[in-house]
Every structure is written in C-alpha cells, then in structure tokens.
Amino acid sequence: MKWNLKPSAQRKVAKFLKWTAASLFLVFCASTFISNDALAHENDPHSVARPQEVRVEHISLDLRVDFAEKKISGKVTLRIKNLTGANKLYLDARNLNIQAVSVGVRQVPTTFRKGHGDPGLGEGLIVDIGRHTKTVTIEYETTEGADALQWLTPEQTAGKHFPFLFSQSQPIHARTWIPLQDTPEVRTTYDARITTDPDLLVLMSAENPQVKTTDGVYRFRMRHPIPSYLIAIAVGNLEFRAFPGSLRSGVYAEPETLDSAHWEFANTEKMIKVGEGLLGPYVWERFDLIVLPPAFPYGGMENPRLTFLTPTLLAGDRSLENVIAHELGHSWSGNLVTNSNGNHFWLNEGFTVYVERRILEAVSGQKTAEIQAQIGFERLLDELRTQPADLTKLRTNLRGIHPDDAYSEIPYEKGYLFLRHIEELVGRPRFDTFLRAYLSEFSFQSISTDDFQKFLEEKLILGDAELRRRINALEWIYAPGLPEVRPEIHSEALARMQRHAEAFAKAGRFSNPTILSFASVSAYEWVHFIRSLPKDTSLDRIKSLDKSLGFSDSQNVEILTEWLKFTIGAGYPPALVRAEQFLKSVGRWKFLEPIYRQLIANRHRELAVRIFNEAKSGYHSIVNQQFERLLSTSTESCNDAMGG
C-alpha cells in the first residue's frame, strides 16, 4: 500500500496505529491476567502443592548434617490444617529419598507415593491423610541431586581446615532438602534440631547461636510465618562478631575473613535505622550477616535474621555495600510482603531495588544512589535486547519455564523504574506514605501483582483519571519492553567518567591526571569508565591504561568483571589468563556469566569449556545448569555481552 501523505502526516498515522495496537493489546492482556489473578485462584506454576485443600502451618525439623556422606537425614514433621476434608497431602519433593511417612503424634505409618511432576519441578510426594490428621512426619534423606545444598571441601573455604555446607532454597530448591509445600503462597513458622560435627557451628534463618556447642547439637526457632524459599542453613567453622553500637546486628564468618567482614559492613546498623524510618519497624529482631565461601552463587540472599553473602563483597572500601542495603530491604519487601509465586517476582525484587537505593541515598548520598540507578538502567537496556519479549514483562507467565531460567535484571530494574516513575509523579512524601501503607497492609502475606494494582488504585490513584493515565500501570506491568514516558536517570559522575574514557581513547592519555587517584573515583564510576571505552580502542592504549590503573589486578570484582569483558572483546592477550584465574576463584553467577559469554562470543568457546570443566566441581549446581544453558544458546557471532 502506498500512502499519499506528507511524511509528517505519515508519521502521525503510524503513531496512531501503533498507539491503537498497543492499547488493544493492553486491554487484552489486562483482561486475561486480571481475571486470572482475581477470579479463580491462581496456581503456582512451580509447585504441585494444593494449599487450597490442606495447608502446612508449621515445620519441625530433626536432622543430621553428615559431611562424610554429604547428606542431610532425619525427619520433618508438618503441622497441617485440612481446609476441605481432603484425604491426600500433596507436597513438593525433588531427588529426596523418602523412607517412611506417618501421621499424628503417635506416628502411625501411612501410605504415600511419588507424584509425576516434571523433572525441573520434582517428582512430588503424595501422602494419604485422614480428615482429622494434624501432623505428618516424614523420614528422609537428601541425595546428590539436592540442588539447594552445596557441600564444600576444606580447600574451598578460607581456613582450609574444615568442610562447609550452605543452602540456597530460592527459588524452588527447598524441596530438594525438605519435603514441603514449596510455594511462597504458603507461609509457615519452623523449628529445628540439627546435629553435626562438634567442631562446626550451625546457623539457620532463625534465632541463632553465637558460639559452638560442645556436642554439635543446635536448636532453632523461626516464630514468624515465612515462605519456604527463606528456610536456610549454613554449617562451618564460623565465628560471630557484633557491629559496634548495635545490639541487633553482627557478622558471622570464618575466623580468616571475620576482621575484613566486620569492617566492610560496619554501616549495617545505620542502614537498619534508615530502613525503619522509611518503611516501618524492623520486625525480625536481629539482622545478622554471614560471609560464605566464594562458591556461593549469589551476591546476597535475604534469609530472615541471617543474610547470606558472597565474600566477593569484601572489596576493602565498602564500595559494594548496596548489596547489604538490598538484602536488608527484603526484610520489608519480600520477607514481610511476599510474591505469591514466580509470576510476581518483580514485587519482591523491584520494590527491593527501590528500597535499596533509598537506603543507599540516605547513608551514602544522592550521587552514589544515582550512580547505581544509571548502572542498573544500562544493564536493563542490555537485558531488554537479549531476553525474549515475554520475559521483559513485569508480570510474567512462567508456566513451563523454570524460574532459574527466567532470572534476569528485568524484575529488578524495570520494577525499580516503575516505582520511581510513580514516585516522581506524586512526589516523595505521598509515595512514601503509600509505600508504608502497602507494607503494613500486606505484612506477612503473599500477594500477586493484582493485589498491588488494586491497592495502588484504592490508596494512591483514588479515582483520579489523569493520574491513572500518567501512571500507566497496565503498560508497565503487562507490556514487554519499556514505556516511552519513564524516569530520566542521569548521573553527572558517570557522565564525567564517560568523557574521560572518550578523551583517553582519542588522545591516549588523560586530560586531567587527577582521575588517576583511586581515592577520588568510586568503584562503579570505574565500571562506567570501562563500559564507555570504545570497542576499537587500540591494544597499546589498553595496555597503557592497565599499567597506570591496574584494572587487571583489581580486587574489586565489579571492576575486574567489566575489565575482563572489555579486554576479551578487544583481544588483549593478558585477559585470557586473568579470566581463567578469576573463573576458577569465584562462583557468583553474575560475574561468571558475562565472562563465559564473552569468551564464547569471541572465538574462545573451547577455552571456556575447558575452564568450566576444570572449575565446575567448585561451582554450585545452579551455576552448572546455567552454564550448560549458556553454551547451548550462545553463538560466536552473537556478541551481545558487550552491551551498549
């Protein structure tokens, strides 16, 4: 078809058509999703549990942690509430060895069988119960297929003398070490009795000891109802030290890292106070940290009362403490108000990134928070280029998709942007009031995107059609990509680094030599500097940069990762040796992924595979699965890892 219209009119028509299509699309999406979430009960796509019939209310663990056999064994007692008079209890279970199941205080044996869940979700466990059954006791042991558990040899720890165990239950790995209703829709309290070698300390996401017992027996209690993905355990040669001036916060670490951890995270109590001012009382009583060995696959994990951390945060300059602000933020968004299943993951992470940056702003200033926001925004743009459109929506539909495969920056950074967009429209005072009301309304509940939307309508929009139009929630939530009207993120500090990078690439030296002082430039500014170097920067210039700024030797993992990504892409020979060393020393997927991806994209696929094969015994099984996936989806020509 040929339009006999002036170009400007053509543009208008095209814009109108695009707008109409987008609106129809939104109405369609909104109507299907809203009715799904609101009318019928929305089942968790990653669980075989049927909490609408029978609900687990309390979990009692009696387990032995056996390092020689690398297994956890014992029994779990589930206290249940039978809501419909059902005669079966459906549990999630994956790769567990179930030995016996009984009911009631007298533990009368009952019959049970495996279900037929798909391999990713696990086989499940179906237990025959009576209408009046109050407790179900399951004797079991974990197997090698317990993806939640990573057993470390002494060599993989800082001290090199004692073994170590940690769990990672989120998103759906709790079922690999405890048979339970593994959906965040269900909240339970728990207690535990754990036995292990007497020279090790056991910690959980619960009331914790601060010193070892003499007999290796430990008791725990979590009095608040929490989702299963927050049940956690760590066992190792650990010591505790309180933060100065805090009665509710301290850090656990191996003695070898305790000093540096204690220094690095010293702002924790300050952050808790800021969090309370912004979000309401901290209800979990204690907020302790534990620094795990480098194999831990995440930066941080918000296990209640005991945040799990990677030792790669120990940069020596407190430059990565935003991770503490983030995990602390989850004490409100995530642990108090919880996404009801993986489709609403943005409610956990988007809110928490927003809270993280507000806490950081109060503790370290607006400049630091805006640097984070811009770095995050750029990562979001990269992610939007590579993720399938469906996964770029805030409210996802993950039926048939494992949550570990859907994991990306999108729920974090698009979620953040959406909340900041609302904040900018209504102003901070009004937004903060709304945020506090949201957290208190849904405290200790598991909610869906739809619950959020209704609350937004009732407590913030209040029938104001113009505000509703400007907030544009339907597009933010249900459409892929980013709405055109969105917050402008601009960090002057990063713009300055970009100018330095461009000037350096052109002239081969810095116009202003004071940039060479590491003291005046923060880690994320360097990250941006490296990202801003033109791809065709000559090897000579790269070499001289490395000589003057020492990026290849950086002790800061964020800087080093960015540098390795850049220099592998540029064909800088020392990058390969350094990359190999790095890939073999850390297990955090966020840093492994871009480097492996970059190796593969730059004709080093074989090298990547060799390094991986040599390193994989030290990686977490989640990481190993992600690597296989990366290998099968990335090609040499696809050079996406370089980003913008």
**CB nearer to Zn ion: pick between 181 and 352:** 352
Is 370 one of the annotated active-site residues of the chain? no
Binding of residue 590 to ligand BES (CB under 6 A): yes
Binding of residue 306 to ligand BES (CB under 6 A): no
Please, which residues have CB within 8 angstroms of residue 472's CB and are 6 or more apart in sequence?
483, 485
Q: Least distance from C-beta 417 to ligand BES, angstroms?
A: 14
Q: Which stretch binds ligand BES (CB under 6 A): 51-59, 100-108, 322-330, 426-434?
A: 322-330
Number of residues that bind Zn ion (CB under 5 A): 2
Which tokens in the block code for residue 532? 């801003």
In angstroms, the CA 445 to CA 314 distance is: 34
Among 122, 179, 299, 594, binds ligand BES (CB under 6 A): 299
Number of residues that bind ligand BES (CB under 6 A): 16
Instruction: Specify the residue for token string 């390795």.
Output: 564
**CB nearer to ligand BES: pick between 302 and 546:** 302
Residue 60 host element (H or E): strand 54-66
Distance from the Cα of residue 381 to its chain's centroid: 19
Among 170, 208, 338, 392, binds ligand BES (CB under 6 A): 170
Listed in sequence order, the DSSP H helices in 427-533 are: 428-441, 449-456, 465-471, 473-478, 492-507, 523-532
565 binds, among Zn ion, ligand BES, none (CB under 5 to 8 A by kind): none
300 binds, among ligand BES, Zn ion, none (CB under 5 to 8 A by kind): ligand BES
269 binds, among Zn ion, ligand BES, none (CB under 5 to 8 A by kind): none
Binding of residue 326 to ligand BES (CB under 6 A): yes
Q: Least distance from C-beta 310 to ligand BES, angstroms?
A: 7
Site string for ligand BES, 331-360 (x = CB under 6 A): ------------------x-----------
DSSP state of 152: E
Question: Interface residues for ligand BES in 433-492 (CB under 6 A)?
Answer: none
Tell me the sheet residues that pair with 82. Answer: 54
Among 117, 163, 300, 342, binds ligand BES (CB under 6 A): 300
Among 240, 298, 442, 529, binds ligand BES (CB under 6 A): 298
- Going from the C-alpha of 344 to that of each of 332, 398, 406, 540, the distances in angstroms are 16, 10, 12, 48
Question: Per the residue annotation, which of 229, 298, 412, 572 is the catalytic one?
Answer: 412
Which tokens in the block code for residue 380? 């979001």
**CA-closest candidate to residue 324, choices 297, 295, 305, 299:** 299
In angstroms, the CA 354 to CA 334 distance is: 12
**CB nearer to ligand BES: pick between 237 and 368:** 368
Dihedral-angle region of residue 245 (phi above 0 means left; psi in -120 to 50 means alpha; beta otherwise): left
525 binds, among ligand BES, Zn ion, none (CB under 5 to 8 A by kind): none
Q: Least distance from C-beta 352 to Zn ion, angstroms?
A: 5
Please, which residues have CB within 8 angstroms of residue 118's CB and are 6 or more apart in sequence?
none
- 503: number of Cβ within 10 Å: 15
Which tokens in the block code for residue 68? 């020689």
Question: Cis before residue 163, ω within 30 degrees of 0?
Answer: no
- 97: number of Cβ within 10 Å: 13
Binding of residue 177 to ligand BES (CB under 6 A): no
- Going from the C-alpha of 620 to that of each of 38, 323, 325, the distances in angstroms are 38, 20, 25
Distance from the Cα of residue 461 to its chain's centroid: 30
In angstroms, the CA 205 to CA 40 distance is: 33
Is 327 one of the annotated active-site residues of the chain? yes
Question: Interface residues for Zn ion in 290-349 (CB under 5 A)?
Answer: 349
Q: Least distance from C-beta 320 to Zn ion, angstroms?
A: 14
Q: Least distance from C-beta 351 to Zn ion, angstroms?
A: 9
**CB nearer to ligand BES: pick between 322 and 364:** 322
Q: Least distance from C-beta 329 to ligand BES, angstroms?
A: 8
In angstroms, the CA 209 to CA 160 distance is: 23
Binding of residue 171 to ligand BES (CB under 6 A): yes
In angstroms, the CA 204 to CA 216 distance is: 14
**CB nearer to Zn ion: pick between 337 and 515:** 337
Binding of residue 421 to ligand BES (CB under 6 A): no
Q: Least distance from C-beta 618 to ligand BES, angstroms?
A: 18
**CB nearer to Zn ion: pick between 182 and 302:** 302
Helix axes 428-441, 268-279, angle to 10 degrees: 90
411 binds, among Zn ion, ligand BES, none (CB under 5 to 8 A by kind): none
Question: Per the residue annotation, which of 327, 349, 378, 525 is the catalytic one?
Answer: 327
Q: Least distance from C-beta 135 to ligand BES, angstroms?
A: 30
Which tokens in the block code for residue 89? 């209890």
Residue 142 host element (H or E): strand 135-142
Task: Please give the residue ranges that form the binding site for ligand BES (CB under 6 A).
Answer: 170-171, 298-302, 322-323, 326-327, 330, 349, 407, 412, 590
Task: Please give the residue ranges that form the binding site for Zn ion (CB under 5 A).
Answer: 349, 352
**Residues assigned a catalytic role:** 327, 412
